[in-house]
Chain A
Amino acid sequence: MTDALVPLMVLLPMLGAATALMLGRHLRAQMAVSTGVLAAVATIAVVLLAEVDGSGSGIAVEVGAWPAPFGIVLVVDRLSAIMIIISAIMLLGVLVYAVGQGIADQHRETPVSIFHPTYLILSAGVFNAFVAGDLFNLYVGFEILLSASYVLLTLGGTGERIRAGITYIIVSLMSSLFFLSAIALIYGATGTATIAQLSVRIAELPQDVQLMLHLLLLIAFGIKAAVFPLSFWLPDSYPTAPAPVTAVFAGLLTKVGVYAIIRAETVIFPESDLSTLFLVVGGLTMAVGILGALTQADIKRLLSFTLVSHIGYMIFGIGLASIAGLAATIYYVVHHITVQTTLFLTTGLIERFGGATSITRLGGLRSASPVLAVLFFVPALNLGGIPPFSGFLGKVGLFVAGADAANGTAASQTLGTSSTGPAWLIWVVIAVGTATSLVTLYALARFWNLAFWRPTGDVEGYRSAMIDSMQEAPAGATLVATRTTPRLMVAATTALVLLTVALTVFAGPLYDLAGRAAENLRDASVYVSLVFPEGVR
């Protein structure tokens, strides 16, 4: 029974997109379809999580009853179910926000009739990537979500958006070509693209061939996950899109890349050991990302840089190659999806209310709109890693797992046969992570000081060394301060802020769940036996 639900998670958004497209200009009907579909997917994912968490393993569905190495196989284990639930909830929240914005904007800045279908296709791609049990199906999932994201990023086709979108589109096209070449090479070397079968066959290849295939695949995933030095495109392309689009991209698209990296490390290449590389790259991503954020005057660009920076924590967690490290990574991914999305939505509200996103032009927001202040303050502290919020818990989890791995204590059971990097390197990255967390807090607190606490009258002619050190965004669009905060947009943002708080309040059970999800990844054979119960070679 539950088997039939798995393909529905991809099918429903696809059918919903078709329906929404046919409904064309009936905005209300479109809204009903898209919210209904996303709510349905969230519900299905909850049912599936309950099922796989109860049974302790997972569900593998052979689509069209074609047996596994030849047909398409969809796999749901705890990790995929968690990712789908959080994505579906985020997509739903952002959709409500976007609808609120569409209703509030009387002029047609964005052609609403194609927004809903494209948004649902993006969702279908995300969900497909999370359940793909086949490397080629993962590629198709990526392509679905990327094609939809191209459309969303250049929505309305204004000059500014097209210029920013071109960078993103060309970089993504290149990464797709990389991914496809990697699949071709892997198929040539092993004769299969099914992830479970690859796990067995890749291990039989010579070490150098494994390493080459591994790196090629990681480059493709790394561009999507915006890992330094493949992250250059992100801060240039995200900020110009409409607020809800940026929020979804920031929250979800990079995490799909992180998810693919986790799968590659734990299932496809359990033997090939790149822990040291991951630790180095993770540390660099944190440091370089946050240093970029420091010089930004525009909050959207600032957040894009913190997004890059915090991907570093996840890469660090993966590099630890221990169960505890992965558990912390999974919790951190969930936390980061929620908080980053929420902050971008709040920024959208600030943009409407204050008419600017640059700290040189904003001021006095706290007294003007206390609600907005709370909606910004809570997720900002959370992202900065202030106790007791989930950002703090996630980082502590990562650092504790790192310390365990560095000390070689019993808690640091490594995955499969891989080993962790050198102990001193882990301590260095932990130090970088702590510094990054503080600098994130500094950057956000500075925005808070200037935009929320500074009296409105001070904005004109205000000079300080702090502001002089920062750059304006290259192309600032002319914004109109509406001094309004539409109720639906505020409601959606509030709901997501409450969700970030809930991640803190229910951190205990959630962390245990993340631990059980990581436990599933301990050994590649768990995944393999899901798809091939009788064994495979």
Chain B
Amino acid sequence: MTPTLVLVIVAAALFGAGVAVMLERSLTRVLIGFLLVGNGVNLFMFSMAGAPGLAPLLVDGVDEAALSDPLPQAFVLTAIVINLGLTAFMLALVYRTWWLAQLGAQGDIIGDEEDAEEDAVETAGLIRSTAEDDRAVQDVLDASDEEVRR
């Protein structure tokens, strides 16, 4: 069972790049980082199958020792599908925060403690405007729903 070195190196590079991007504050970059690390994990899982071999089809006369391990492939396929779903959701979330940002809210910037202390007054104003934004967004949503119903 000797896994290929290439897969390991690529997985490590994806991990490193993904974590670096994820440390940014922007939600879009976090999503990109998640995608990179997610694919890194998938490759990593794939490399656990050992050396590549023949397609795992049990037909007559095939040498079972020469087949590659199909189980990690099944795992990776499942993980890819899950990642796809999560990515779709995250994209919707990114879009929504962008929309909220357009309306004047803080958007996808998650303030940390120091920021919050620095501009506490400003934040109080923002909170108030957030509630208004929420209502505005809700109105837009309601209106679009109405249209759909018609």
Contact = CB atoms under 8 A, between A and B. Distances in A.
B34 A173 contact: yes
Contact of A159 (B30, B41, B82, B100): B100
B127 A166 contact: no
Contacts of B41: 177, 180-181, 184
Nearest to A140: B78
A163 B110 contact: yes
A1 interface: no
Contacts of B116: 474
B93 to A, nearest CB: 7
Of B71, B78, B134, which is in contact with the most chain A CB atoms at under 10 Å from its CB?
B134
A477 B131 contact: yes
A87 interface: no
B90 A180 contact: no
A205 B90 CA distance: 39
Given A169-B93, A177-B38, A475 B130 contact: yes
A183 B89 contact: no
Given A136-B75, A157-B137, A158-B137, A147 B86 contact: yes
Contacts, number: 88
Interface in B5-53: 27, 30, 34, 37-38, 41, 44-45, 47-48
Interface string A145-189: 001001100101111101101110110010001001101110110
Contacts of A183: 45, 75
A28 interface: no
Given A157-B137, A474-B116, A173 B86 contact: yes
B110 A167 contact: yes
Interface string B137-148: 110001000000
Nearest to A478: B131
A476 B130 CA distance: 11
A463 interface: no
Contacts of B134: 158-160
Given A173-B86, A184-B48, A136 B97 contact: no
A109 B135 CA distance: 10
Nearest to A181: B41
Contact of A187 (B38, B48, B79, B86): B48
A187 B45 contact: yes
Of A70, A165, A173, A185, which is in contact with the most chain B CB atoms at under 10 Å from its CB?
A173
A185 B96 CA distance: 37
Nearest to A69: B71
Nearest to B127: A475
B127 to A, nearest CB: 5
A430 interface: no
B106 interface: yes
B108 A166 contact: yes
B105 A159 contact: yes
Contacts of A109: 138
A537 interface: no
Interface of B: 3, 27, 30, 34, 37-38, 41, 44-45, 47-48, 69, 71-72, 75, 78-79, 82, 85-86, 89-90, 93, 96-97, 100, 105-106, 108, 110, 116, 123, 127, 130-131, 133-134, 137-138, 142
28 contacts: A70-B71, A108-B138, A109-B138, A136-B78, A140-B78, A150-B89, A151-B89, A157-B96, A159-B100, A159-B105, A160-B130, A162-B97, A163-B110, A166-B27, A166-B108, A166-B110, A180-B41, A180-B45, A180-B79, A183-B45, A184-B41, A184-B72, A184-B75, A185-B48, A187-B45, A191-B69, A193-B71, A475-B127
